[in-house]
Each structure stands twice: as structure tokens, then as C-alpha cells.
Amino acid sequence: MSIASATRRDWQSAFSTWANKHRKWVLAAPAMVFVALLISFPLGWTLYLSVTDASGSVRASNDFIGLQNYFEVLADTDRFWPAVVRTAIFTGGALAIEMTLGMCIALLLWRPFRGQGLVRIAILLPLVATPVAVGMMWRLIFDPNIGFANQMLAWVGIPAQPWLAGEFTALPTLMFVEIWQWTPMVVLILLAGLSSLSDEPDEAARVDGANAWQRFWHVTFPLLMPTFITALLLRGIDALKTFDILYATKGKGGGSFHEVETLNIYAYGLSFDYMDYGKSSTVLVIFFLMIIGLIWILTIRKKRSTL
């Protein structure tokens, strides 16, 4: 009896010693294994499907067809390349405006003032709101017949716009929604960066007679550059993958003319509306490579700016 409990205690202390000795991996491994399992298998699977003609049912058998999907997709000027262009316009345009607006608002909020609390709440609310609900909300506001947007235009004498319903106005309208929801994120990150800067360089420039714009452009902004690029990276990755507001407002295929069909929407449609898994996987592999390439470029830029 006492021997049994003694051996159990031995085992326990042996385990404790072992766990403490290897604590680096004992603590980190469960999370890493979980993520690795959920990533590596789907990633490998996607790569495999991209060289097959898999379609129809997930259980159907498929044949190896080599790089045929890649040739087909890269030669597809009907759906694929327009989707690439739309993704670039949507991401590039929304990002440029978000970063500029975000920088301006962050600078306005930088120094404390009365009523700061209200502004901060107003900035936080769009950020936490459910994107699908946000999409529906703007869908009502931008409705061509009953929406408040056209009502406001009527007050100032501008003719009604089709907004989300128009072939050429849908994408800019959705960029606006994206900007409305995510500029606050840029503001918060840049504000955190601004408040971590020391006042001295700014003061020194002021003593030297630099005006407000010169102090911002030659002192504050370069010091803020690493934070700025972090914000750009975080927002860029999410903007490229935007799905919720596009699908919630325009549905399958990005509308009847595919007017808001970005790469993500196109790949989702290929998988779950057309069940063309092979082609969809090819699009996803190309999309993923594009994202990685973009991050790579931005990280190099960030390293340079911190040096």
C-alpha cells in the first residue's frame, strides 16, 4: 500500500521534473499542434486538389490533370482576371483612403481635449459591429428607392444614384462601407503609436521654427513609420480577404454582372455554388501566393524604415 503510493509519488515527481525540464515545448506544443493540424492538412489538400479535376461531390473520385487548371485559370479573362483587378481596386482604394483618413483622425485625437470619450466610443462602435449586420444596414441606406442616401442627394438637388444596384457603382459603394467600418482600426493603432512617441523631437523642430506640416512630415511621420506599416499590413491582409459585406449585400457571384466578385468571392462561389473544387483550389493557391508576396514586400519596407 505504502509502496504503491510511494511509487505514484515517484511517478508524479518524475513527471513534474520532466515537464519542467521541457516546459518550453510542454506549454507551446498543444496550441501549435492544433493550428498545424488545421492548417497543414487543408493546405496540402488544396494544393493536391488544384492539380485534379475534382468537382461535384466532396466524396467523388477525381483524376490527376497536372497543371491544366493553372493554365485555364491564368488564361481566363472572363472571370479570373476581372476578379484580380476588382480585388486590387477594392483593397488598394479602400486601404489608401483608410490610411489617410485614419492618420488625420488620429492626429486630431492625439492631444487630449474635452469630449474625447464620446469620440472614442463613436470610433469603437463600427469596429465591433457584426459585418453582416453592417452590410444589411448600408443596404437599406443605399436602397435606390427608399434609402436615406438618395433622400439626402435629393435635398441638395443631385439625381438619385443606383448605389449597390448599379453595375459600376456597387464596388465603390462597398469600398465606402469597408472604409466606414475599418478606418477606426487604423485610428486606434496609429493613436497607440503616436502616444508612444516622445515629445522631444517635435519640440526641437518647433524651436527650430518648423511649421505644423513640416513637423508632421519630417519628424512625426517618419518616427511613426513602423506602426504605420503594421497598420497597413493588418488592414491589407483583412481587406484582401473581405467576404462578409460583399456576400451579404450582393450574394452569389458578386451580383448579376459579377460587379463585386473579388478573388475570395470567386473562389467561394467555385467551391460552394458550382462545386468545382479543382479550379477553386487553383484560384486559392494563386490568391495565397499573391497575399504572401504582398506581405513580403511590406515587411522588407518595414525593416528598411526601422533601420
Partner 1 sequence: MTSTTVTRRQRPMMARVYTSFRFVTLAFVVIAFLAPLAWMVLSSLKTNVDIYNSEAAFIFEPTPRNFETVFGQANYLQYIWSSFFIALASTALSLVLAVPAAYSMSRFVMKKSAALVLLARVIPGVSLLVPWYFVFSNMRIVGSYTPLVLSHMFVALPLILYIMMSFFDSLPEELEEQAQIDGLTPIGAFMRIALPLSVPGIATAGILSFIFSWNNFMFALVLSGAKTKTLPVAIFDFVGYASIDWGGLMAAAVVVTIPIMVIALFTQKYIVSGLTAGATKG
Shortest CA distance to 123 belongs to which of 176, 194, 183? 183
Give yes or no for a contact between 302 and 230, defined as CB atoms under 8 angstroms apart.
yes
The reply on whether position 146 binds partner 1 by CB under 8 A is yes
* 53 near partner 1 (CB under 8 A): no
3-state secondary structure of 167: coil
Binding to partner 1 by residue 151, rule CB under 8 A?
yes
**67-75, 89-97, 125-133, 252-260 -> range binding partner 1 (CB under 8 A):** 125-133
Rule CB under 8 A: which of 63-92 touch partner 1?
Answer: none
Q: Which is nearer to partner 1, 32 or 67 (CB)?
A: 32
- Assess 133 for contact with partner 1 (CB under 8 A): yes
Residues 6+ apart with CB under 8 A from 112: none
132 near partner 1, judged by CB under 8 A: yes
Among 96, 108, 158, 297, binds partner 1 (CB under 8 A): 108
Taking alpha carbons only, the member of 238, 229, 202 closest to residue 217 is 202
Query: By CB under 8 A, is residue 28 in contact with partner 1?
Result: yes
Q: Does 59 contact partner 1 by CB under 8 A?
A: yes
Check binding of 247 to partner 1 (CB under 8 A). yes
99 near partner 1, rule: CB under 8 A: no
Cell of 70: 493553372
Q: Of 39-47, 72-80, 83-91, 165-173, which segment contacts partner 1 by CB under 8 A? A: 39-47
Amino acid at 295: I
306 is a site residue for partner 1 (CB under 8 A)? yes
The whole-angstrom separation of Cα 219 and Cα 142 is 41
CB of 77 to partner 1, least distance (A): 22
What do you get for the CA distance between the two ends of the chain, in Å? Answer: 67
217 interacts with partner 1 by CB under 8 A: no
Shortest distance, CB of residue 3 to partner 1, whole angstroms?
Answer: 25
The interface mask with partner 1, positions 176-195, x = CB under 8 A, is ----x---xx--xx-xxx--
The DSSP 8-state label assigned to residue 158 in this structure reads P
What CA–CA distances, in Å, run from 273 to 95, 134, 216, 241, 265? 29, 24, 50, 18, 11
* Residue 26 touching partner 1 (CB under 8 A): yes
122 binds partner 1 (CB under 8 A): yes
Tell me, what amino acid is at 193? Answer: G
Residues 6+ apart with CB under 8 A from 276: 55, 270
SS3 63: coil
Pick the binder of partner 1 from 51, 99, 105, 175 (CB under 8 A): 105
Reading the block at residue 71, the C-alpha cell is 493554365
Decide if residue 206 touches partner 1 (CB under 8 A).
no
